[in-house]
Amino acid sequence: MVSHIHLPQLESTHQDVSHSHSHQPQFEPNHYSNRKERGTFCKEHYSKGMAEKDDVQIPRVKLGSQGLEISKLGFGCMGLTGAYNSPVSDEDGISILKDAFNKGITFFDTADLYGTGANEILVGKALKQLPRERIQLATKFGIVKFEPTRIIVNGNPEYARACCEASLKRLGVDYIDLYYQHRVDTSVLIEDTMSELKKLVEEGKINYIGLSEASPDTIRRAHAVHPITAVQIEWSLWTRDVEEEIIPLCRELGIGIVPYSPLGHGFFAGKAIVENLPANSLLVTHPRFRAENLEKNSKIYNRLENLAKKHQCSLSQLALAWLLQQGDGVVPIPGTTKIKNLVENIGSLKVKLTEEELQEIAAAVPVEEVAGDRTYESMSNVTWRFANTPPKGSKASN
C-alpha cells in the first residue's frame, strides 16, 4: 500500500468522494478479448543456512472459497518503483520478479497507483518473460490522488471499469486474476461498485474480486453481490486491530486474508534500527518511525530479536512465520528490492511454531506499547474503521 501524500499523484479529473464521479481516468482504456484463463539477512543469520538455502518448497494454498490457488507467500511489487526506497531499474525489477517466481512465488501484487502506473508496466514487462498461466496477478483501483489531509478515492462503476481496462493495457494482459478495490469510496453504494466488478468477471477481464481496508459491513454487503475472494488489510505483529472483527468475519464468509506490510513497513527487518532510512523514504514521516516513537518501539525490536535467536532465525523470519501460521487462508505479501531479502523471507516458511510459541511472540508486542499510529494522518479517512458506504436503498452523493 502506498502511504504518503508525497507520492506522484494520478493526475486526473476525478472528483472528490463527496462530489460527482462521472469523469474517466487519465490512462486511456484499451479493449481486450473475453478470454478467461485460470492457471492454475537480516544482517546476521542465526540459522544454519536457513535463509541462504534455495530448497524451501513454498506450499500452494486456496485463497478464499472461489477456487483461486496461489503460493503461500506472495510478493508485494510496490517498492520496485519507489516509496520506501529509490526505484530500481527495469532490469533489476524484472530480475527480482523472475527470481521470486523461480523460487516458487507465483502471487504478485501491484496497483494502478504505484509509480503512477509505472509499477504495472514493470510487472507487465516481467510477465512477458514468465509463463502467464502459472502466475496469479493481483492489482487494484480506487485511489485517485493524495491531498494534504486525506486521500481521494473513487468507487464509481464507470471509473472501476475504465481503471480495469487501463490496467490490462499497462500490464499487457487480457485478464487479471484478482482485482481489488484499493480503498472504499464512502459516497458510493458498495453494491453499485460490486455490480460493475461482477460484470468484469462475467466478461473474463477479471477472475476474482477483492477488497482492501473495507469495514465489516462493507465486506458483508459486497460479498452478497458477488463472492469476495480476498480482503487485503494491514496485519503484522505490531498492527493487530483487525483480529477482533475483520479476521473472524473473513473466516466466517470463506474469504482469504492478504496482509500487507507484514514486516511493519520493514521495521521487523531492521529498517531505522540496524540501518538508516533513505532520505527519500516515505517512512521518514511515518508515525511509528518518528524519533520519539522509534526509541520506544526499538524496545519491542530488541525483545523480538531475542526470541528470534531462540528460534534460530532472523527477526524478519520470525515475524513472517508468526503471520504465515495464522491459518492456510493467510497469505502475506512482503516486498523487497534485494534478492538476499527475498531468500530470507522465503526462509520464514521453515520456521515452525507451536501454539504456545505463537502466543509468546504475540505477547512480546503488547499493542498498548506500540508507539505511533499505524498509518499517516492523511490516510486515516480511508482505513477500515471508516469504510462504510451509504445504506442500501439510499441515493449516493452526487
Of the pLDDT bands very low, low, confident and very high (cuts 50, 70, 90), residue 250 is very high
Of the pLDDT bands very low, low, confident and very high (cuts 50, 70, 90), residue 299 is very high
What is the pLDDT of the chain when averaged over all its residues? 86
Which of these, 238, 289, 371, 347, lies nearest to 84 by C-alpha position?
Answer: 289
pLDDT in tens, 272-286: 776 777 777 788 889
Of the pLDDT bands very low, low, confident and very high (cuts 50, 70, 90), residue 310 is very high
Given a contact cutoff of 8 angstroms between Cβ atoms, the answer to whether 154 and 187 are in contact is no
Instruction: Name the residues annotated as catalytic.
Output: 114
pLDDT at 43: 35
In the chain the domains, ranked by start, together with CATH numbers, are 60-386 (3.20.20.100)
C-alpha cell at 349: 516458511
pLDDT in tens, 8-28: 334 333 333 333 333 333 333
Place of cell 520464514: 348
Helical spans, DSSP H, in 67-112: 90-102
How far lies 99's CA from each of 41, 110, 336, 343, 389, in Å?
A: 17, 17, 12, 10, 41
pLDDT at 35: 37
Distance of CA 7 to the CA centre of its chain: 17
- Alpha carbon dihedral 336, 341, 347, 349, in 10-degree steps, equals -20
Share of residues in the chain with pLDDT > 90 (%): 73
Of the pLDDT bands very low, low, confident and very high (cuts 50, 70, 90), residue 95 is very high
Question: Which amino acid would we find at residue 273?
Answer: I
Residue 152 has pLDDT above 70, yes or no: yes
pLDDT at 395: 67
DSSP letter at 271 equals: B
pLDDT at 280: 76
Helical spans, DSSP H, in 172-310: 190-202, 216-225, 246-253, 291-310
Taking residues 298-310, report their average pLDDT: 95
Of the pLDDT bands very low, low, confident and very high (cuts 50, 70, 90), residue 380 is confident
pLDDT at 396: 56
Taking residues 218-247, report their average pLDDT: 97
pLDDT at 60: 97
C-alpha cell at 168: 490490462
Share of residues in the chain with pLDDT > 70 (%): 85
Taking residues 292-307, report their average pLDDT: 94
